[in-house]
Amino acid sequence: MRDIKISFVINGEKMTVEIPPNISLLDLLRDHLGLTGTKKGCGIGECGACTVLINGKPVNACLVLAPQINGKDIQTIEGLGTETSLHPLQKAFVDKGVVQCGFCIPGMLMSLKALYNECPVVNQQEVKKAISGNLCRCTGYQQIVEAGESVSKKGRNKR
Amino acid sequence: MMRTVGRSVERRGAKDVVRGKALYADDIRVDGVIHLKVVRSIRSHAIVKEVDTSVAELIPGVVKVFTSKDIKGSNRYGIITKDQEILVERKVRYVGDPIALVAAETEAIAVEAARSVKVAYEDLVPFFTIEEAKGCTTEPIHEDGNLLSSRDIIKGDIDQGFAEADVVIEETYTTSMAAHGYLETETGIGTLDERGRIAIYVSTQNPHYDQDDVVAALGLRPHELRIVQATTGAGFGGKLDISVQGLIALAIQHLKRPVKLRYSMEETMQAAAKRHAMVMHYKTGARNDGRVTAVDVRLTLDTGAYASYGLAVLSRAAAHAVGPYEVPHVRVHGELYYTNRIWAGAMRGFGVPQVSFAHEGQMDSLAKALGIDPFEIRMINALKPGSTTATGQVLHASVGIGETLKRVKDAKERRERNPEKRHVKVRPWVKSGWGIASFWYGIGNTGLPNPSTAQIHVDEKGEITLYTGAADIGQGSDTVLLQIAAEALQVSDKDLKLIRGDTGLTTDAGATSASRQTYISGNAVKSAAENLIQKLAQEASSQLTVPLPEIGYESGEFKGGGKTVTMRELAKELHQKGQIPIGEGRFDPPITLLDKETGQGIPYATYTYGTYYAEVEVDTGTGEVSVEHVIAAADVGKAVNPANVAGQIIGGVAMGIGYALMEEFESGKTRSLTDYLYPTSMDVPPVEVIIVEDPEPSGPFGAKGVGEPALIPTAPAIINAINKALNTKILDLPAKLERVMKTVLKSPCSGGI
């Protein structure tokens, strides 16, 4: 199979790459672009560990063919906050002691980012729903939901 | 007043995790890496007549196809019984046994080539149930027969116990196999390091064991292999066994090139350990006043094709079979059988989640038969200081079971007084109920020595580094051990560096299993800190020319005779003299071996206790159960990091909801997370966590453990709640829709429509 050329924006940067047409977005991110923050769990769209945003909407990167992102805007965990300035969601996850093994966490954060893209003020039920496609075997979700919602409260205060 | 222990300090590495910077084995990139793929058995029990690799080897990009002929060592491994092979030699014992290993330039080529390896089998009679395994008249699964082991515990006189009883409850409970469900599959990447060693970065719970077994299996010398625990995406017992380690080492041994192996989720499901399915026959006798007089238990465990941790699960299940109660007359007999199903090994709780389903079912049945409140009957029988356990161990301190019962009862009553507690639902077909369950869990291995070691170094600049072999698999031992070290050294945990789980740099801390790292490695770390202070105090004594007994230590400073010298200054001085200040610590819990005939002895130095309460709503039209609220109390001795303890408990509750209601691993059928469903965020109720701290005198700052205990009472509490809602008795886990509906249809007063 001949490589094909695709262009997209990733974490705010324009990029053009030549890739085999049959690889998944997940493999493009991890194996071609070195963005290993997006995790490969089940590889068949069941676990949500590979959640990234395409034009602000959450997708399982393992179920998206890489060429489908041509002309799109992609955001991964690497584009959320920086070392010196964590995104409020990231900060809430650290401060509230949410992290256990951590493998689901990048996907969780991206699902929550997508939720806040849509609605800046959310309640616990909305947070639960937003991460219902992200499996976690360690935490039991409660601390994740609390951390996820705490960001909304701050948002509400600001308004 | 403690400065670090007891505080929810920030988890070590959490910032890396939330930024996607933590390096799991699959995230480590090495140029020119060779990809591996395992060729697995498609037969349950068969002689391997021929492995034809010729077609596979012709595929462009294939580097080599390995079979057992390429293995130079014993080819045997197993934590207790060395009955497993890196690549099978003569026969396969379950669908998934590794037969050959393909090494190729890309993963896609490796997968394609693996499909081209042809295996000729000669089928043997397979044994899929314990009954079939018992009645074996043909070739058994392993040479010594299908019965792997048995265990007995005898206390008092069981006949006398039943003679004293006014009521006797006899039931048979069963549980299914379950899967760990971690999202990071077994993965490792290896290379020859700068010293020519095979260095493997791997997802594991026990790096030092990995090294020992792989070295023996492949005929390596110990210094030729280094195992480094990569950031690990959880384990729950499933990563205690060797998985990719031996295969990666084998390939590097031959190819001298970097190699990588990542199990697919399907491989994790089909070729890694599962939780033991158990059949548990219980006969329990009690007096009219609620006092239990006798418990007679028969346990039958299916360990599948290989032993793995089966013996440990059997021993622990037997030792915990009675539950956290003082019973004068006890008889437990347990048997562990091989079958040709997938092998069962360690999974969170080592057999205790299974027996707690049974002993808590018995307690509720007794309560009902005697007309005693479920809290009350447990309180009447609960262990307390001075009690003698089923193995004859006298408990001296930190027996918080009674306190957890009391605290849960209080919380339940508070909840009932709250008018906003629940909105009234006008759905007459939905029945609600509540249930409780209590547990105990011995910390560390059962009746076996299981030491941990640790060191604390101070460099010439005064930087302090903790070295521990303890694997942090997400449960939080890195942070907890640093907190314990910091507390003992009277410094901030943020000031400490950490080197962990690297057989090239750390010493053996034992497995991250049996909820042992806080208590056992915590004690080793604490004694390393004390040893460091002692050694530096000697140097301070000579520098300050003050006798040693007059040297005091406080927060990094040694004082005596009105003079002060800092740890940093002392370390610099010692380094200049060519001495490295190292504190060394070791701890092995005080236990005794259990008597072979009677099981009497001291299996554990200390126990964690707890009581959980669950409220459920059961839809009698569909059998669907919704867990509405959980109150979870655990006596952990001392919560070193309360947020972390709460995280373990809430996570344990979620896993327990799955175990109670949805998770059933069917060997040969369950293939992936598509058909193995476990709770999502929509399936978990609010969990009210109550941390009880009845300090353990031998624990580091009073701490015990919580990792596995957190799961144990969830399922029995939920089942007891369903039983109450439907006025029935569920005897088989999980209580899936079909099982609940069967109960509804059978029970005239369960309110079915």
3-state secondary structure B679-735: CCHHHCCCEEEEEECCCCCCCHHHCCCCCCCCCCCHHHHHHHHHHHHHCCCCCECCC
The 10s digit of each residue's pLDDT in A40-80 is: 999 999 999 999 999 999 999 999 999 999 999 999 999 99
Residue closest to B189 by CA, chosen among B142, B251, B118 = B251
- Confirm whether B150 is domain-assigned: no
- Confirm whether B306 is domain-assigned: yes
What torsion do the CA atoms of B550, B555, B557, B562 make, to the nearest 10 degrees?
A: -50
- Confirm whether B269 is domain-assigned: no
The 10s digit of each residue's pLDDT in B163-192 is: 999 999 999 999 999 999 999 999 999 999
Closest chain B residue to the Cα of A36, Cα to Cα: B27
Residue closest to B11 by CA, chosen among A112, A87, A105 = A105
Cα–Cα separations (whole angstroms), residue B684 to A140, B219, B653, B680: 7, 48, 8, 7
Residue among A46, A99, A142 minimizing CB distance to B17: A99
Residue among A103, A129, A142 minimizing CB distance to B684: A142
The residue among B262, B289, B313 that closes a domain is B262
Cα–Cα separations (whole angstroms), residue B265 to B43, B184, B196, B236, B414: 20, 8, 32, 16, 44
Q: Do B563 and B605 sit in the same domain of this protein?
A: no
How many CA within 13 A on the CB side of residue A52? 32
Determine, for residues B265 and A133 on separate chains, whether the beta-carbon distance falls below 8 Å.
no
A36 compared with B748, residue with greater pLDDT: A36
Q: Do B243 and B112 sit in the same domain of this protein?
A: yes
- Confirm whether B133 is domain-assigned: no
Determine, for residues A100 and B8 on separate chains, whether the beta-carbon distance falls below 8 Å.
no
**Cα separation of B471 and B477, whole Å?**
7
Please tell me whether residue B497 adopts helix, strand or coil conformation: strand
How many CA within 13 A on the CB side of residue B629? 13
Burial class (CB in 10 A: 0-12, 13-18, 19+), B719: buried
CB contact at 8 A, B753 and B429: yes
- Confirm whether B66 is domain-assigned: yes
Determine, for residues A42 and B231 on separate chains, whether the beta-carbon distance falls below 8 Å.
no
Cα–Cα separations (whole angstroms), residue B7 to A157, B485, B697: 28, 14, 20
- Confirm whether B640 is domain-assigned: yes
Domains of chain A by range and CATH? 4-79 (3.10.20.30), 88-158 (1.10.150.120)
Q: Do B557 and B457 sit in the same domain of this protein?
A: yes
Q: Do B693 and B719 sit in the same domain of this protein?
A: yes
Q: Could you give phi then psi for residue B171, rounded to 5 degrees?
A: -145, 155
- Confirm whether B135 is domain-assigned: no
**Cα separation of B742 and B753, whole Å?**
13
Contacts with A106 from chain B: Cβ below 8 Å: 17-18, 20
**Residue B618 maps to which CATH number?**
3.30.365.10
Residue closest to B606 by CA, chosen among B516, B691, B693, B526 = B516
Please tell me whether residue B529 adopts helix, strand or coil conformation: helix
How near does any CA of chain A get to the CA of B577, in Å?
A: 40
Q: Do B232 and B309 sit in the same domain of this protein?
A: no
Sheet with B464-468: strands ordered across: B496-500, B464-468, B452-458, B582-587
Determine, for residues A128 and B681 on separate chains, whether the beta-carbon distance falls below 8 Å.
yes
Element (H, E) at B455: strand B452-458
**Cα separation of A49 and B431, whole Å?**
36
Mean pLDDT per segment of 10 residues, for chain B of length 753 residues?
94 98 98 98 98 98 98 97 98 98 97 98 98 96 97 98 98 98 98 96 98 98 98 98 98 98 97 98 98 98 98 98 98 98 98 98 98 98 98 98 98 88 73 97 97 98 97 98 98 97 98 97 98 97 96 97 96 95 98 97 98 97 96 98 98 98 95 96 98 98 98 98 95 96 79 52
Total H helices, total E strands in chain A: 5, 5
pLDDT at B427: 85
List, as one string, the DSSP characters of B155-199: ES-HHHHHHT-SEEEEEEEEE-BB----SSPSEEEEEE-TTS-EE
Q: Do B343 and B465 sit in the same domain of this protein?
A: no
**Cβ partners under 8 Å of residue B143, min gap 6:** none
pLDDT band at A155 (very low <50, low <70, confident <90, very high): very low
Q: For B331, left (φ over 0), alpha (ψ -120 to 50), or beta?
A: beta
Tokens found for residue B743: 């109960």
The 10s digit of each residue's pLDDT in A99-115 is: 999 999 999 999 999 99
A residues 99-118 closer than 8 Å to B (CB): 99-106, 109
What pTM did the predictor assign? Answer: 0.97
Q: Do B84 and B202 sit in the same domain of this protein?
A: yes
CB contact at 8 A, B95 and B20: no
Q: Do B41 and B116 sit in the same domain of this protein?
A: yes
What ipTM does this complex have? 0.97
Q: Where are the beta strands (DSSP E) in A12-151?
A: 13-19, 51-54, 57-60, 73-75
**Cα separation of B636 and B701, whole Å?**
11
List, as one string, the DSSP characters of B555-595: TTEEEETTEEEEHHHHHHHHHHTT---EEEEEE-----PPP
Contacts with A37 from chain B: Cβ below 8 Å: 19-21
Q: Do B317 and B392 sit in the same domain of this protein?
A: yes
Residue among B474, B653, B682 minimizing CB distance to A132: B682
Beta strand B259-262 pairing with B34-40? parallel
The residue among B560, B587, B614 that closes a domain is B587
**Cα separation of B85 and B74, whole Å?**
9
Determine, for residues A76 and B20 on separate chains, whether the beta-carbon distance falls below 8 Å.
yes
Determine, for residues B678 and A137 on separate chains, whether the beta-carbon distance falls below 8 Å.
yes
Determine, for residues A78 and B19 on separate chains, whether the beta-carbon distance falls below 8 Å.
yes
**Cα separation of B272 and B94, whole Å?**
11
Beta strand B225-229 pairing with B259-262? unpaired
How does B311-321 read in b/e, with b if 16+ C-beta sit within 10 Å?
A: bbbbbbbbbbb
Contacts with B653 from chain A: Cβ below 8 Å: 140
Question: How many folded domains does chain B comprise?
Answer: 3
Q: Do B559 and B654 sit in the same domain of this protein?
A: no
Q: Could you give phi then psi for residue A146, rounded to 5 degrees?
A: -65, -45
Residue among B29, B234, B686 minimizing CB distance to A103: B234
The 10s digit of each residue's pLDDT in B453-507 is: 999 999 999 999 999 999 999 999 999 999 999 999 999 999 999 999 999 999 9
The residue among B199, B230, B262 that closes a domain is B262
By the CB < 8 Å criterion, does A43 face chain B?
yes
Beta strand B557-560 pairing with B563-566? antiparallel
**Cβ partners under 8 Å of residue B144, min gap 6:** none
Tokens found for residue B148: 């792997």
Please tell me whether residue A1 adopts helix, strand or coil conformation: coil
CB contact at 8 A, B40 and B271: yes
List, as one string, the DSSP characters of B298-365: EEEEEEETS-TTHHHHHHHHHHHTT-SB--SEEEEEEEEEE-SSPPB---TTTTHHHHHHHHHHHHHH
Tokens found for residue B633: 């109390």
Determine, for residues A38 and B680 on separate chains, whether the beta-carbon distance falls below 8 Å.
no
Q: 10 Å Cβ neighbour count for B485? A: 29
Terminal alpha carbon distance of chain B: 60
Q: Do B576 and B690 sit in the same domain of this protein?
A: no
**Residue B244 maps to which CATH number?**
3.90.1170.50
Q: Do B720 and B625 sit in the same domain of this protein?
A: yes
Determine, for residues A94 and B15 on separate chains, whether the beta-carbon distance falls below 8 Å.
yes
Write out the residue range of the structural domain in which residue B466 sits: 451-587
- Confirm whether B140 is domain-assigned: no
**Cα separation of B507 and B470, whole Å?**
9
**Cα separation of B389 and B319, whole Å?**
9
Contacts with B15 from chain A: Cβ below 8 Å: 83, 86, 90, 94
Residue closest to B552 by CA, chosen among B264, B561, B152 = B561
Tokens found for residue B149: 């082991």
Residue closest to A76 by CA, chosen among A111, A127, A128, A126 = A111
CB contact at 8 A, B192 and B499: no
Tokens found for residue B748: 């005239």
Please tell me whether residue A48 adopts helix, strand or coil conformation: coil
